[in-house]
């Protein structure tokens, strides 16, 4: 069964869209007919993803964004409201991971950058775009979390804390917005084969970015009466 036109007419905004999971999600949703707003700081990466989507017959445009800056998020939300009047899908994917050292050796600057990007960023995005969804009484917000948001992560406490926090935010906002027909979901992958965290030479055993994109596509095409709260995605093989 083809899902080519499943999302026709919908506007999807994906953060961290220049590479990895964000790029894969953007391409997948574009292939289903959505207009993709590619949000990230690196304009060259966004242009490359936009070109790939266009070459495949999809629609996308760059939406330069620094989600650590409230003014940048607000400006993008205002632009989306004026141009499209709607935001049907918001995928909060952008994140950073600084691991490899115990918390007592982690600098306050590293802590602040991680929490600002991984937790405050999604808060700012939801704060800015939820009103458009409330007005429409429909929408999907998908937060890309991590299995590190459920498990201890030795030498990665700050990253783990940001993802535990994102999970708590997700579950709570879901309760706040479900009465408006808005579904807020978390996708928690394990080891993903991306440049994130340094990557590895052989990532074939890991979860692939396209695997996460497949889950996001499933979430945003749920039947109207169902609500997928969270999906955990693990590699079939253990490292």
Residue with tokens 């340094």: 198
| d(C-alpha 110, C-alpha 157), whole Å | 12
Q: Which of 123, 159, 171, 180 is catalytic?
A: 159
Residue with tokens 């790029």: 23
| d(C-alpha 152, C-alpha 223), whole Å | 34
Distances (CA, A) of 84 to 135, 138, 163, 190, 234: 13, 15, 31, 35, 36
Instruction: Give the angle 35-39-43 at the CA atoms, nearest 5°.
Output: 110
**Radius of gyration (C-alpha) of the chain in whole angstroms:** 17
Decide if 117 contacts 96 (C-beta within 8 A). Answer: yes
E strand spans, the chain: 11-15, 35-40, 59-64, 89-92, 139-144, 182-189, 230-233
Distances (CA, A) of 8 to 33, 53, 88, 96: 4, 15, 11, 32
159 is catalytic: yes
Those residues with Cβ within 8 angstroms of residue 188's Cβ, 6 or more apart along the chain or in another chain: 145, 146, 147, 149, 150, 163, 167, 230, 231, 232, 233
Catalytic positions, written as ranges: 159
């Amino acid at each position: 069964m083809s899902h080519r036109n499943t999302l026709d007419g919908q506007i999807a905004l994906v953060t961290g869209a220049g590479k990895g999971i964000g790029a894969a999600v953007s391409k997948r949703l574009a292939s289903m007919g959505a207009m993709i707003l590619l949000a990230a700081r690196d304009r060259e990466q966004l242009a490359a993803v936009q070109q790939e989507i266009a070459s495949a017959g999809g629609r996308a445009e760059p939406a330069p964004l620094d989600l650590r800056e409230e003014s940048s998020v607000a400006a993008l939300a205002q632009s989306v409201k004026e141009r499209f009047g709607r935001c049907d899908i918001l995928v909060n994917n952008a994140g950073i991971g600084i691991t490899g050292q115990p918390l007592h050796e982690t600098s306050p600057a590293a802590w602040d950058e991680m929490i600002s990007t991984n937790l405050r960023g999604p808060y700012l995005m939801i704060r800015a775009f939820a009103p458009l969804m409330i007005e429409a009484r429909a929408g999907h917000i998908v937060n890309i979390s991590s299995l590190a948001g459920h498990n201890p992560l030795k030498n990665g406490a700050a990253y783990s804390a940001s993802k535990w926090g994102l999970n708590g935010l997700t579950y709570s906002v879901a309760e706040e917005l479900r009465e408006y027909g808005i579904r807020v979901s978390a996708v928690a992958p394990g080891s993903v084969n991306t440049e994130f965290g340094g990557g590895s030479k052989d990532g074939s055993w890991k979860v692939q970015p396209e695997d996460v994109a497949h889950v996001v596509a499933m979430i945003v095409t749920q039947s109207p009466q169902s609500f997928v709260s969270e999906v955990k995605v693990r590699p079939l093989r253990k490292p």
